[in-house]
Amino acid sequence: MSKITSSFGLDKAMKQLGLKEINAGTSTGTNHFGSGDVLTSHSPVDGALIAKVKGTSKDDYEKVMAAATKAFQEWRTIPAPQRGEVVRQFGDKLRELKEPLGQLVSYEMGKSYQEGLGEVQEMIDICDFAVGLSRQLHGLTMHSERPGHRMYEQYHPLGVVGIISAFNFPVAVWAWNTALAWVCGDVCVWKPSEKTPLCGVACQNIMAEIIKQNNLPEGISCLINGDYKVGEMMTNDKRIPLISATGSIRMGKIVAQAVAARLGKSLLELGGNNAIIVTPDADIKMTVIGAVFGAVGTAGQRCTSTRRLIVHESMYEQVKEALVAAYKQLRIGNPLDQNNHVGPLIDTDAVKMYSKALKKAIEEGGNILIEGGVLDGDGYESGCYVKPAIVEAQNSFQIVQEETFAPILYLLKYSGDVENAIAQQNGVVQGLSSAIMTNNLREAERFLSAAGSDCGIANVNIGTSGAEIGGAFGGEKETGGGRESGSDAWKVYMRRQTNTINYTTELPLAQGIKFDL
Q: Quote the CA–CA distance of 204 and 166 in Å, as a whole number.
A: 16
Instruction: Give the strand pairing for 49-54 and 38-42.
Output: antiparallel
Q: Is 303 a catalytic residue?
A: yes
Query: Over the range 301-338, which residues count as b (16 or more CB within 10 Å of their CB) and which as e?
Result: bbbbbbbbbbbbeebbeebbebbeebbeeeebbbbbee
**Residue 473 parent element (H or E):** strand 472-473
Catalytic residue among 127, 184, 303, 455: 303
Q: Where are any strands of DSSP class E within 200-305?
A: 221-224, 242-246, 265-269, 274-278
The answer to whether 504 touches 294, Cβ cutoff 8 Å, is: no
196: Cα separation from own chain's centroid: 14
Catalytic residue among 119, 122, 269, 484: 269
Q: Quote the CA–CA distance of 97 and 117 in Å, as a whole number.
A: 10
Q: Quote the CA–CA distance of 87 and 292 in Å, as a whole number.
A: 36
**Residue 431 parent element (H or E):** strand 430-431
Show the 3-state SS of 342-397: ECCCCCHHHHHHHHHHHHHHHHCCCEEEECCCECCCCCCCCCCCECCEEEECCCCC
Instruction: Give the strand pairing for 472-473 and 2-3.
Output: unpaired
List, in order, residues 6 or more apart from 282 with CB less than 8 Å away. Answer: 315, 437, 438, 439
What's the distance, Cα to Cα, between the start and end of the chain in Å?
Answer: 73
Q: Quote the CA–CA distance of 484 and 243 in Å, as a whole number.
A: 12
Question: Which residue from 399, 398, 349 is spatially nearest to 374, judged by alpha carbons?
Answer: 349
Phi, psi of 165 (to 5 degrees): -115, 165
Question: Which residue from 94, 79, 206 is spatially nearest to 134, judged by alpha carbons?
Answer: 79
3-state DSSP call for residue 337? coil
Phi, psi of 409 (to 5 degrees): -110, 125
The answer to whether 133 touches 81, Cβ cutoff 8 Å, is: no
Residues labelled as active-site residues: 269, 303
